[in-house]
Amino acid sequence: MAAEDYKPGLEGVPVAKSSISYVNGQEGILEYRGIPIDALARQSNFVETSYLLIWGKLPSAAELAEFENEICSHRRIKYRIKDMMKCFPETGHPMDALQASAAALGLFYSRRALTDPTYIWEAVTRLLAKIPTMAAAFQLMRKGNDPVLPRDDLGYAANFLYMLTEKEPDPLSARVLDVCLILHAEHTINASTFSAMVTASTLTDPYAVIASAVGTLAGPLHGGANEDVMLMLAEIGTIDQVRPYVEKCVAEKKKIVGFGHRVYKVKDPRAILLQELAVELFAKFGHDKYFDIAVELEKVVEEYYGQKGIYPNVDFYSGLVYRKLGIPDDLFTPVFAIARVAGWLAHWREQLDENRIFRPTQIYTGEHGLAYKSIDQR
């Protein structure tokens, strides 16, 4: 293996054949199972989109009803999980709480053959059902409150907002969150998905697969840029400070958060949809001055960097939307995780269909045949 074969970050190295999603970064296209994201965002809902991603086709009405019912009936978490979560420090990050709770789920549902379709179905529906409950439970428990029980009469996104805020959300908020979940559900092979695939390739249980993916998503280079966007907008403070801020970043060669993407060289299609959702929310629930700053920032950054293909990515407008929905800043990444569980599960299933354990190689740069020195000689 020659050193020039080494691609840091595996850039451009195919690691799988996949029919789950497709990105065309030049034209700003994202498709799930061949269906453009725009159509799914406008016409589908998160549970149906999850079915599409995981089972590979849009469900019939009966299939969708069965999937929805199954997810709904598994929303509650066992009291032992809640007791375990109560012991988590309230200062801990919600992503760490989510990773630990996802892993703990595996303790309760004994491992069965990965060729058993019932086991796969149960794991898929349980994980989709319980991850939001656990994220919301930690939010209430860290404030010293008991978690509220999920409500079977509410849809997936509405129930999550209810569990988080203890108030039944209005239909627009629920719909906006549902669309956000669709937009974040899947995005080809990124770090957390690859992590899920590597873990899956050992044929371990699906709870371990999701726990490892949650841990990978938690890193600041992956999830979490939307939190930084909110900090940046606060730092800029007013519209007239946008241009000086961009000029300073250009002069100091500092990257502007929420812009640029390894694959997209035009505005991320998800950012276009999220901007629309922000406008809808602000029209109903009151304006946010940070939105005006964001719009101005997009304009000025395009002047400087448009030719280089640097445009808003998915994280640019999502924080503004989440804040308006009453989601605390450090829950932005857990919300991303709730959505991405669908994509991770889809890749888990696809991995199992043609599994070979991941075992890449390395370019050894160390020495050989050294003598062992006893401790007094070192």
In the set 94, 260, 319, 343, which binds ligand COA (CB under 6 A)? 260
The smaller minimum CB distance to ligand COA, of residues 72 and 256, is found at 256
Q: How far is the CB of 71 from ligand COA (least distance, A)?
A: 28
State the DSSP string of 54-68: HHSSPPPHHHHHHHH
Give the binding range for ligand COA (CB under 6 A) out of 15-23, 148-156, 260-268, 327-335: 260-268
223 binds ligand COA (CB under 6 A): no
261 binds ligand COA (CB under 6 A): yes
How many chain residues touch ligand COA (CB under 6 A)? 15
As given in the structure block, the two tokens for residue 249 are 């970043």
261-274: burial string, b at 16+ Cβ within 10 Å, e else: beebbbbbbbbbbb
In the set 257, 278, 321, 346, which binds ligand COA (CB under 6 A)? 257
Q: How far is the CB of 315 from ligand COA (least distance, A)?
A: 5
What are the backbone angles phi and psi of residue 305, rounded to the nearest 5°?
A: -120, 0
Q: Kindly give the residue spans of alpha helices, DSSP state H, lying in 36-111.
A: 37-43, 46-55, 61-73, 79-86, 94-108
Residues identified as active-site: 261, 315
The smaller minimum CB distance to ligand COA, of residues 308 and 356, is found at 308
Rounded-to-5 percentages of helix, strand, coil across the chain: 60, 5, 35
335 binds ligand COA (CB under 6 A): no
337 binds ligand COA (CB under 6 A): no
Q: How far is the CB of 157 from ligand COA (least distance, A)?
A: 22
**Long-range own/partner contacts, residues 79-85 (CB < 8 A, 24 or more apart):** 80/108, 81/105, 81/108, 81/134, 82/137, 82/141, 82/147, 85/134, 85/137, 85/138, 85/141
Q: How far is the CB of 263 from ligand COA (least distance, A)?
A: 8
CB 132 within 8 A of CB 156: yes
In the set 94, 106, 206, 258, which binds ligand COA (CB under 6 A)? 258
248 binds ligand COA (CB under 6 A): no
CB 260 within 8 A of CB 313: yes
225 binds ligand COA (CB under 6 A): yes
DSSP state letter for 143: T
As given in the structure block, the two tokens for residue 157 are 């996104």
Total count of residues recorded for the chain: 378
Q: How far is the CB of 138 from ligand COA (least distance, A)?
A: 24
262 binds ligand COA (CB under 6 A): yes
Nearest to 325 by CA among 268, 363, 274: 274
DSSP state letter for 87: T
Residues 275-314 that bind ligand COA (CB under 6 A): 305, 308, 310, 313-314
By beta carbon distance, the residue nearest ligand COA is 260
Q: How far is the CB of 220 from ligand COA (least distance, A)?
A: 9
The smaller minimum CB distance to ligand COA, of residues 95 and 256, is found at 256
255 binds ligand COA (CB under 6 A): yes
Residue 357 CB neighbours (<10 A):
9
- Binding string to ligand COA for residues 313 to 332, with x set by CB under 6 A, is what? xxx-----------------
Q: Which residues bind ligand COA (CB under 6 A)?
A: 225, 255-262, 305, 308, 310, 313-315
